[in-house]
Amino acid sequence: MARYALLILPSANRVYAEAAACLTAAELAAFSDSVLGIPLSAAEVTRRGGVPYLEFEAGQLGPDDCAFLANISSLYALFEVTGELLRPVALTGLDRYDDDLITIQKYPGKTNEQFTKLLLNVTLLASAFAPHMLCRKLAVLDPLCGRGTTLNQALMYGYDAAGIDEDRKDFDAYRAFIKTWLTRKRIKHKVGYDGPVRREGRAAGRRLQVSMAASKDEQKAGRAVPSGSRGTRSWRRALKPPPCWPRPASSPSSRRPTCSSSTG
């Protein structure tokens, strides 16, 4: 059995930082039960050089195991413990954009970014689509999306994302943010629709739909990520990558699965 030490990502939120170790241990257990090829032992908090780590034992982690664990919400680095030495384990997560897509917005009541990622992870791991987390284009619906923390995390994973919210101020704030962010980051994108939704000749809400691609190659291949929003007596926002992403041949259905989350 090999022993591993997980260094937890620092958090500016004091309350969340105090709970991060316990939450990460539970998240590790969810990954172990759902998608890993080998079971992990119960994680425990240790200190090395005065720095806290979350340590666990397992068989030798394979490439697929490392690919899944790279998306742990509070992961800063993972090491294999060899005596008193720590050997870094190479990890590459799903994130497709710079992390300021998640962190740059600051406002009262915003859900902690790491907690949002944890909720999205465990929602996915509890579904039948957990094994497809790395290779399939999933769809995330947040029915109380606020200013889009969950939508942005879904976009970071390259997933389709759709959001609904009745607060016009939140809609306008997110609309301004995502359009400005895409422009300043020089990310290839196209605003498909940005205007009112009408029912029986009357404005019933607003909708934003934007297509974006992480690279020129993806844009040329038709892998742009649409984002939109609409509503009836409510203000909706949706962010959605393209319907043409490749799927594994073993996929039981051509329909994109949906994971629901609502962290705001």
Residue where one domain finishes, among candidates 65, 88, 111 = 88
Q: 18 CB contacts (<8 Å, ≥6 apart)?
A: none
pLDDT tens-place string over residues 79-88: 999 999 999 9
Does position 244 have pLDDT exceeding 50, yes or no?
no
Looking at the structure, do residues 40 and 171 belong to the same domain, yes or no?
A: no
The chain-wide mean pLDDT, for the chain, equals: 85
DSSP letter for each residue of 33-81: HHT-SS--PPPEEEEETTEEEEEEEES---HHHHHHHTT-TTEEEEEEE
Which of the two residues, 215 and 198, has the higher pLDDT score?
198
Q: Is 248 a member of any domain?
A: yes
Q: Is 93 a member of any domain?
A: no
Looking at the structure, do residues 133 and 245 belong to the same domain, yes or no?
A: yes
Share of the chain above pLDDT 70, in %: 83
Does position 236 have pLDDT exceeding 60, yes or no?
no
pLDDT tens-place string over residues 47-67: 999 999 999 999 999 999 999
Which of the two residues, 236 and 132, has the higher pLDDT score?
132
Q: How confident is the model at residue 12 (pLDDT cuts 50, 70, 90)?
A: confident
Q: Is 95 a member of any domain?
A: no
* Average of per-residue pLDDT across 225-238: 44
CA angle 261, 262, 263 (to 5 degrees): 115
Q: How confident is the model at residue 234 (pLDDT cuts 50, 70, 90)?
A: very low
* Average of per-residue pLDDT across 110-116: 93
pLDDT tens-place string over residues 25-41: 999 999 999 999 999 99
Q: Is 170 a member of any domain?
A: yes
| Residue entry with tokens 């739909």 | 209
State which residues form the domain around 254: 100-260
